[in-house]
Amino acid sequence: MNILTIKNKKEESVLRVKTAPFDFAFYTKPQITELLRTMRTTMTAASGVGLAANQIGLNSSVFVALVHNKFYAVFNPVITEMSVETEMLDEGCLSVPGTYGPTSRAARVTLIGADRNSRPLKIKARGLLARVFQHEVDHLNGVLFIDKAKELHKISNI
């Protein structure tokens, strides 16, 4: 599956829109499993650590992440708490190829949502996991890291 990028204006317009809530009533368990498999495969093939559904053209509030060898799949995620303490680190994005920049994110967050079985979940995250959660929730809200980065740098060979 292709990852949408800002290099294509039509694709960027998809990335810039808030996604619709994921409605479990419209999907069977095998369809959800296949969606997550496709998203994980697409993310790992691109050497990413997170992927939001709208990055592959799906108007659904769901993301996957693989951080510290742990796989996360979160449906209808909402960040309910963010620490005052922030961390400024270089960030990049599969939908903004060849670009990175220092981006400030909360050091700790609390994320709520649903798991693949529509059961409520709550995750307290810090460090890289907190950063990935914020990045992916931003995607689902139509926000890209380039909107928040202090400055942008291009990688010359991409």
Q: How far apart are CA 89 and CA 105, in angstroms?
A: 8
Is the pTM here over 0.85, yes or no? yes
Please, what is the average pLDDT of the chain? 96
**pLDDT tens profile 33-82:** 999 999 999 999 999 999 999 999 999 999 999 999 999 999 999 999 99
AA letter at 107: A
3-state helix, strand, coil in the chain (%, to 5): 30, 35, 35
3-state secondary structure of 46: coil
Q: Provide the annotated active-site residues.
A: 136
- What mean pLDDT comes out for the span 91-96? 97
